[in-house]
Amino acid sequence: MKLTDETVRGFRVAKIFRENTDRVSSINFSANGETLISSSDDDSIVIYDCLNGTPKRTLNSKKYGVDLIRYTHAPNTALHCSTKVDDTIRYLSLHDNKYIRYFPGHAKKVVTLCMSPIDDTFISGSMDKTIRLWDLRSQNCQGLMHLTGRPVAAFDPEGLIFGAGVNSESVKLYDLRSFDKGPFATFKLPQDKECDWTGLKFSPDGKLILISTNGSVIRLIDAFHGTPLQTFVGFQNNRGIPLEACFTPDSQFVFCGSTDGKVHCWSTETGAKIAILSSDHPGPIQNLQFNPKYMMMATACTNMAFWLPCVDD
C-alpha cells in the first residue's frame, strides 16, 4: 500500500491505550516497526506490540525518572535521559530492567538524544549548551562541542553526518569522522522571534531537514544547501510546548500534532496541507511518530493512540 493524499486523509485512531497516569514524554519505534517504546512523567516505560496493538510490558524508573527514550540496535536495550538525581544518560536492558552503563557529563537537562542509524554511536545535547558524542561501549564521552544556545541534533539516515541546530537560527552539518574540525556547512535561517527550535530531523531519503519548534510553525529546508523550502503553519500551539513533527517513511509527508488534539499533515513537495485529522486526545499531542515499516502512526498526550488507514470500500 502506497501513501497517497487519500490514504493520509483516511487515517483514523484504531486503538487508545491508557497505561500512563501522566504525560507521555517521548516515543520511539523499533527499527523493524514491530514495537514502540514510550517514556512518561509518571516514571514508567511502556513497550507496545504494534502488530497486535497491545501493551507488552511496563518498566518503572522511579529513582532516576525517564525521558527521551530511544531504542538501540539490539532489540532488548534502550537509552534514556534522567529527570531526577542528575542529568546522566542511562543504557537499559529491557529484558531484565537493569542498567548496562551510565553516561555522565551533562550538567543540565538533556533535550536531544539521537541514536546513529548504523552503529553504536549516539549524540546528546543539553541545556548546558553542549553536544556530546558517545559510543554505547564506553561511558566516556567521545567528543564535546560547546555551543551558544540550546541545541537540537540528529544523524542523517546514512549515519555519516549529523546536523545541529544552534540558537534557533543556524543549522550546522558535521562529518562524524572529523567533527572536531568544525562544521563543513552552516545554514543561517531567519530567526523565529516567537519560538525556539525544539527538534531537528532528516528525512528518510536524506534530502530534507525538518525543524520543529515550541511555537506554531515548522520549517523544512534543503539538507544540501540549507535553502528554506516550506513553512508549515495553521496548527494550534497556544502553550509554547515542543510539538514533535515527523516525516513519513517515503519522505513525502510531514505530520504534527497540536494542543487542541488534532493532527495536521502537509506535503513536503508542495507545502500544501493535505489533512487535519481529529483524535480523542484530551491533552496536547506532544509526541507523534510514523512507523518506519508499517502503515501506522502513533500519537501521545497522557494516552497513547495507534492510527491506521481506514480504506472505504
Residue 232 scores a pLDDT above 90: yes
Residues 212, 199 contacting (CB under 8 angstroms): yes
Q: How much of the chain exceeds pLDDT 90, in percent?
A: 73
pLDDT in tens, 18-72: 998 999 999 999 999 999 999 998 989 999 999 999 999 998 876 767 788 999 9
Q: Which of 62-71, 167-176, 217-226 is least confident? A: 62-71
Residue 126 is predicted with a pLDDT of 92
Q: How much of the chain exceeds pLDDT 70, in percent?
A: 98
192 compared with 209, residue with greater pLDDT: 209
Residue 293 is predicted with a pLDDT of 94
Band (pLDDT 50/70/90 cuts) for residue 313 is very low
* Domain boundaries defined on the chain: 25-242
What residue ranges in 3-84 does DSSP mark as E strands? 11-17, 24-29, 35-40, 44-49, 54-60, 67-71, 77-81
Residue 262 scores a pLDDT above 70: yes
Residue 1 is predicted with a pLDDT of 64
Residue 311 is predicted with a pLDDT of 66
Residue 175 is predicted with a pLDDT of 94
Residue 17 is predicted with a pLDDT of 95
The CA angle 39-205-296, to the nearest 5 degrees, is 45
Residue 312 scores a pLDDT above 70: no
Mean of the per-residue pLDDT values for the chain?
92
Q: What is the average pLDDT across 125-146?
A: 92
Query: How many residues would you count in the chain?
Result: 313
Residue 240 scores a pLDDT above 60: yes
Copy the grid coordinates of residue 141.
Answer: 564521552
pLDDT in tens, 275-310: 999 998 999 999 999 999 999 999 999 999 999 998
- Strands 77-81 vs 89-93: parallel, antiparallel or unpaired: antiparallel
Rounded-to-integer distance, Cα 191 and Cα 75, Å: 40
Q: What is the average pLDDT across 64-87?
A: 85
Q: What are phi and psi of 181, to 5 degrees?
A: -80, 0
Report the first-to-last Cα separation within the chain, whole angstroms.
Answer: 15
Rounded-to-integer distance, Cα 86 and Cα 67, Å: 12
Please give the CATH topology (third level) of the domain spanning 25-242.
Answer: Methylamine Dehydrogenase; Chain H (2.130.10)
Rounded-to-integer distance, Cα 133 and Cα 138, Å: 11
Band (pLDDT 50/70/90 cuts) for residue 197 is very high
Band (pLDDT 50/70/90 cuts) for residue 125 is very high
Q: What are phi and psi of 291, to 5 degrees?
A: -65, 130
Copy the grid coordinates of residue 278.
Answer: 481529529
**Closest-CA residue to 295 (of 89, 81, 57, 12):** 12
Q: What is the average pLDDT across 91-116?
A: 91
**Type of residue numbered 161:** I
Residue 101 is predicted with a pLDDT of 92
**Type of residue numbered 173:** L
